[in-house]
Structure 1
Amino acid sequence: MTARRSAVAFFLLILALAGPLWLVSDRLGVIGSLRIPTSDLALAFTPMIAGLALVVWREGWGRAALLLRSAVDVTTIRGGRWIAAACLLPPLIYLTSWGLMRLSGADHPIPTPDLPRLALLFALFLVLAAGEEIGWMGYAFDPLQQRWGALGASIVLAIPWWLGHLPSMSAIGASRSDMAWWLLGAFGLRILMTWIYNNSAASLCAMLIFHALLNLSRIATFPVVGAHYVGAYQAVAYVVVAALALAVVWITRGRLGEAR
């Protein structure tokens, strides 16, 4: 069925849905100490809405229901090590980043996670991850991979993913340097996600878990108010991500688990 799916139509529909929200983002403010723009709560669901709308239009309600079901079906993840990869890579990235910051002399305290708060945030981040990944990976990725290959599809998908975050980054005061570092992170993260996706039998559920834990790990590791948006912390994390992505590309010779 992916042959009938159009990534171009998907990206254009997202733009039409997200445009009005970007325009009012500054007026809506941010969510407490997390400094998450309020508009992001709606923007996070535009990929899912776009993907499901196109599936319903071209493939019917039954296919849309299957797409939704695949996002929450843990049994679709094939292989214990890929479940481990989806769960462990995000905290590894940010713990490594924290360690590198400490080694560089940054005066950052040892994290003392608030477990009840993190549990609630994880539930929220899972819902938000579903809003994004049902569209990005559930709808757009497979036709992109069929045309451009695993590595090419990762790079193509990273660009609108990066662009989609820029208005909210601007709303919280991110610099151009921060946005440039995020581009490096977007490329690296999409490569890692493609690698896990292809090796876990194209599990959309694995993508939700990875995405949610990535956001949670950032906040758990840098819990100081607003610290997880400070450029230095994010830049180090994205360098770690890029290093891991380059290692995966080298080990897999750029195939990222894509079927031959």
Structure 2
Amino acid sequence: MLRLPVVFFALVFALSVPFWLAGEVSGAQLPAGLPISALQVVIPVVAAVLLIRLSGGNVRRFLRGVFDAKKIPLLWYLPALLLMPAITLLSHGLAGQPLPQPPITSVLVYFALYVVAACAEEAGWTAYATDPVQRRCGALGAGVLIGVVWAAWHVVPYFQLHGPVWVLWQSLFTIAARVIIVWLHNNTGRSTFVAVLFHAMINVCYSVSADAGVYDPMPVGAVTLGAAALIVLAWSPKTLARPRFPALRRS
């Protein structure tokens, strides 16, 4: 099945314009301080499905592939689910911010909602676009390129609620997070669901911090950039799946 990442990216932006306009006109907010334009979350899967249908591909098979949890080795559930909370806790500690203490029910509700939302996004960013891009650009190149597109796609919603410094650091965080997602994807048999889990945890950590009034993208972005840099140093940038050190190969 022919994949056209550039066309996919353009279609995602084009289909998102009505959501950006709605956010600008209404000024309404969703829970956790998200702009109404954040409902654009459905666009990546819509764009991917449209392109697959137009190219004669099997849409049902594509969508089933998003739920490929069986591909994920048990050990890789740890970074998928725990790396982002660790980054968040470290960033709060370095910034001298109080640690959020959310009720467990809130965390579980957020997680359930964000898994659904992440399925819609990662069907596009990971299942449709990642492998074709990394065949041309390598794994690190794909992480950075898709990360830049992913961040740019969020810029309008970001600016609807925040200033330029906040947007800059949140965008850097977004790019670094995409590099981590490609690393997870490539080390789990090209799983899409591992990307869904990590993406969901990004949003859970954001919402928990935002609810507590302590979310700051500067420390979170800096720590995430550091984590992505360590991954690139420890794994081959071309594949992000070939550890450079023998101890890592046992995983």
Task: Report the TM-score when normalising by structure 2.
Answer: 0.90
What displacement does 1:195 show?
A: 0.6
> Does the 8 Å contact 2:80/2:194 carry over to 1?
yes
Give the equivalent residue in structure 2 for 1:242. Answer: 225
CA distance in 2 between counterparts of 1:12 and 1:32 reads 26
2-structure distance, mates of 1:32, 1:11: 25
Task: Indicate if the aligned counterparts of 1:150 and 1:258 stay in contact, CA closer than 8 A.
Answer: no
- Candidates 167, 179, 186, aligned match of 1:191: 179
Conserved? CA contact 1:70–1:76, under 8 Å: no
Equivalent residue number for residue 85 of structure 1: 79
* From 29, 51, 55, the counterpart of 2:27: 29
- Partners of 1:66 and 1:32 in 2: CA distance: 33
How do 1:87-166 residues align onto structure 2 when only pairs under 5 Å count? 87-102=81-96, 108-166=97-155
Q: Which amino acid aligns with 1:36?
A: L
Q: SS of the residue aligned with 2:66?
A: helix
**1:111, 1:222 within 8 Å by CA — same for their partners in 2?**
no
> More displaced, 136-145 or 182-191?
182-191
- The Cα shift of 1:117 comes to 2.0
Offset, 1:74? 1.6
- Whether the aligned pair in 1 keeps the contact of 2:85 and 2:205 (CA below 8 Å) is yes
Q: 1:73 pairs with 64, 68, 74, which one?
A: 68
Q: Give the TM-score normalised by structure 1.
A: 0.87
Following superposition, the deviation at residue 116 of structure 1 comes to 1.6
- Percent identity between matched residues is 30
Asked if 1:257 corresponds to 2:241, the answer is yes
Instruction: Report 1 or 2 for greater relative contact order, CA contacts < 8 Å, sequence distance ≥ 6.
Output: 1
Per-residue CA deviation, residues 103-146 of structure 1 (Å, 9 max, x unaligned), is xxxxx434221222222211111111112110011101111011
Match of 2:191 in 1: 203
SS at match of 2:196: helix
Shift of residue 183, structure 1, vs aligned partner: 2.6
Aligned residue number for residue 105 of structure 1: none
User: What's the CA shift for 1:64?
Assistant: 1.6
Shift of residue 32 of structure 1?
5.2
1-side partners of 2:56 and 2:241: how far apart? 27
1:250 aligned partner, one-letter code: L
Unaligned runs of 5+ in 2: 244-251
Distance 2:26 2:75 in 1: 42
Tell me the C-alpha RMSD between the 2 structures. Answer: 1.8
- 1:160-202 per-position Cα deviation (integer Å, ceiling 9, x unaligned): 1011111111111x11111211232122111111111000001
Using the TM superposition, give the Cα deviation of residue 156 of structure 1 relative to its aligned residue in structure 2, in angstroms.
Answer: 1.0
> What are the ranges of 5 or more consecutive residues in structure 1 without an aligned counterpart?
103-107
CA distance, structure 2, for counterparts of residue 32 and residue 243 of structure 1:
31
Q: Does 1:182 align with 2:170?
A: yes
Matched, 1:45 2:42: yes
* Change beyond 3 A, Cα 1:32–1:131: closer
Contact 2:68 2:193 (8 Å CA) reproduced: yes
Residue-pair matches, total:
242
CA distance in 2, matches of 1:159, 1:111: 29
